Structure 1
């Protein structure tokens, strides 16, 4: 009963942050769908021009989605919510004690809702283009091999662990915190080019769920929820165990320095510590 009260109170105070999370991942899913259709559908002039150049198409996709992440992180609404747009990232910030439990729950719900809504909108607008096998709703599934599930799990675990470790190192550094979004964008681009053949390159449980709901295909779904979440949680636990430098100030991927006049000051952003203070 107490937790339900905390959820209601958090929603009244921070609904705009949750909306920003939903819009952020919705923007990501929309761009992923549009770019995949542009680069992979046989009727696309870009696909026809690069018919035999798979590497060029993969790099275009990687660089474009890297830019999308940077735009989200440094946009006003990305800075407002922190630009988690990923349940595994929210879990990591919660583990660090930088977001309350009630806010974390709403963040995850908003991320899932945003991803599902964006994929459904693409399905409605693009129709058969989005459903074509070369696009397939941008579904991420294990490769159809005897050990495809294990390969997908390992791939998702490794890339998620590295991404969270890089993010934490950047955000805890005075020199790198303002570049955290660019570093994540660069990693995402590299992952799309080099890791996609192993797991489909998700990193994001909500994004994978949104595509799966649109396609009605849920094979291997647990891999894309468990591997990134456990990997980012583990990276956070190990980082807290061995890091003894500057303390993280907030759960915002772009980095911040809260002050009484800052839009990210305590009381105006999702609270920095779980289950303390006002409910």
Structure 2
């Protein structure tokens, strides 16, 4: 509202202090294009750093090194980009946040497209930076752990469960007003670290179709690639259902209000 109360008018006339300029509402660029650019840039650098960490340490990486790199990269990018795009960088996060009322529907498809494009750009940057020998040996940091049908069950369940966990942390730490915390970037990063440490040898701990899609495109490695879409998206949807029905505050929860 642009109106002024009578008391405010009297105060402004009798004092020489300038009233603070009201906050300018965000323009179209800040509402539509800048958030998409934030998702594109954030996902690009997350995938770039993650891929390089695997490609250049393929012989001795183990689980600790990629766990720390991916978790810290997530924490840093989330903290930096939160005020611009909300720092999703992951399609299951975007879907879950939308289902819990944390974003408008018209931004969902642009966010998903920017995340997938960012995954491809990040993987291409990693290929440009690393040696051909190491890149080939690591399959471009694509998820090459699964080699037989007998591994699919455990890997798929792991991707579902671990993505569900990290998505719940996102929803409860950044969307749900009752549990929202300024430590959300730290909590999400730590959750990524513990997930990679726990399940890295089972599925590779993708948790993010954009992280799987980019290296698969650039290295043309598609073996059991579907696991890294079905698992993370399934886990993200389960987390959204849990928060929407049971764990969310009264604004989010659909039942038992």
Q: Please indicate the TM-score interval, normalised by the length of the shorter structure.
A: 0.7 to 0.9
Select 1:89's aligned residue among 88, 93, 113: 93
CA deviations on 1:25-75 (whole Å, 9 max, x unpaired) are 11111111222233325xxxxx4xxxxxx6xx4223312322111110111
Going from structure 1 to structure 2, the CA distance change for 1:160 and 1:15 (only over 3 Å counts) comes to: same
The number of aligned residues is 224
How far did residue 175 of structure 1 move? 6.2
Once residues 218 and 152 of structure 2 are traced to their aligned partners in structure 1, the CA distance between those partners, rounded to angstroms, is 21
Q: Structure 2: how far apart are the matches of 1:100 and 1:124? A: 36
**More displaced, 185-194 or 104-113?**
185-194
Equivalent runs, 1:91-240 vs 2, <5 Å = 91-133=95-137, 135-141=138-144, 143-171=146-174, 172=176, 177-240=181-244
Quote the Cα distance in structure 2 between the aligned partners of 1:79 and 1:27: 17
Alignment check: 8 A CA contact 1:160 1:203 kept: yes
Query: Where does residue 9 of structure 2 map in the other structure?
Result: none
TM-score with structure 2 setting the length:
0.79
The answer to whether the 8 Å contact 2:90/2:208 transfers is yes
Distance 1:200 1:11, change over 3 A: farther
In 2, the alpha carbon distance for the partners of 1:217 and 1:36 equals 15
Q: Secondary structure at the match of 2:249?
A: coil
CA RMSD of aligned residues (A): 2.3
Q: Which moved more, 1:100-109 or 1:58-67?
A: 58-67
Higher relative contact order (CA 8 A, sep 6+): 1
Distance 1:60 1:219 in 2: 24
Query: Unpaired runs of 5+ in structure 2?
Result: 1-27, 253-257
1:38 to 56, 59, 75: 56
Separation (CA, whole Å) in 2 of partners of 1:185 and 1:136:
25
Query: Computing the radius of gyration over CA atoms, which structure comes out larger, 1 or 2?
Result: 2
Asked whether the equivalents of residues 47 and 119 of structure 2 are also in contact (C-alpha less than 8 Å), the reply is yes
User: What SS does the aligned partner of 1:181 have?
Assistant: helix
The alpha carbon displacement at 1:13 in A equals: 4.8
